[in-house]
Amino acid sequence: MITARTLATIEAIDCAAWNACFPDELEDWAYYRAVERAGIAGFAWRYLTLYEDDQLIAAAVAFTTAYSLDTTLQGPTKRISERLRRWWPGMFDIHLYALGSPVAEQCHVGTAPHLDPARLPSLFVRLLELAREDADRAGIGLLAVKDASHRNPQWLAACRQAGLQSMPGLPGAELPITFGSVDAYLGSLGKSTRKDLRRTLRKPGPRIEWRRSVHELLPRMMQLYEATLARSDLTFERLPHGYFHEVLEHLDERAVCALYWVDDELVAFNLVLLDGHRMVDKFFAHDLARTRDHHLYMRSWLANVGYCIEHGIALYACGQAGYASKLRLGCSFVGNTVFFRHRNPVFDRLLRLVKVFIRPDRTDPAMAAAISEQQ
Contact assessment for residue 347 and residue 191, using Cβ atoms and an 8 Å cutoff: no
The correct CATH number of 2-171+335-372 out of 3.40.50.360, 3.40.50.720, 1.10.10.10, 3.40.630.30 is 3.40.630.30
Task: Tell me the CATH architecture of domain 174-332.
Answer: 3-Layer(aba) Sandwich (3.40)
Least confident of 88-92, 127-131, 155-159, 230-234: 88-92
User: Hey, what amino acid is at 88?
Assistant: W
Q: So where are the chain's domains?
A: 2-171+335-372, 174-332
Cα-based distances in Å from 341 to 33, 165, 347, 348, 350: 28, 6, 9, 6, 11
What CA–CA distance (Å, rounded) separates 44 from 36? 9
What is the predicted pLDDT for the residue at 294? 83
| pLDDT for residue 91 is more than 80 | no
Residue-wise pLDDT tens digits, 318-355: 988 888 889 999 999 998 999 999 999 988 888 887 76
Closest CA to 73 of 363, 365, 351, 368: 363
* Number of helices (H), then strands (E), in the chain: 14, 15
* 229 phi/psi in degrees, rounded to 5: -60, -40
Q: What is the mean pLDDT of residues 33-55?
A: 95
DSSP 334-365: E-EEEEEEESSHHHHHHHHHHHHHH-GGGS-H
What is the predicted pLDDT for the residue at 19? 97
- Common-topology check for domains 2-171+335-372 and 174-332: yes
- Across the chain, what does the average pLDDT equal? 88
What CA–CA distance (Å, rounded) separates 18 from 62? 14
User: Hey, what amino acid is at 225?
Assistant: Y
* 137 phi/psi in degrees, rounded to 5: -60, -30
Residue 342: strand pairing partners: 142
Residue-wise pLDDT tens digits, 233-292: 656 678 999 999 999 999 989 999 999 999 999 999 999 999 999 999 999 999 887 777
Residue-wise pLDDT tens digits, 25-39: 999 999 999 999 999
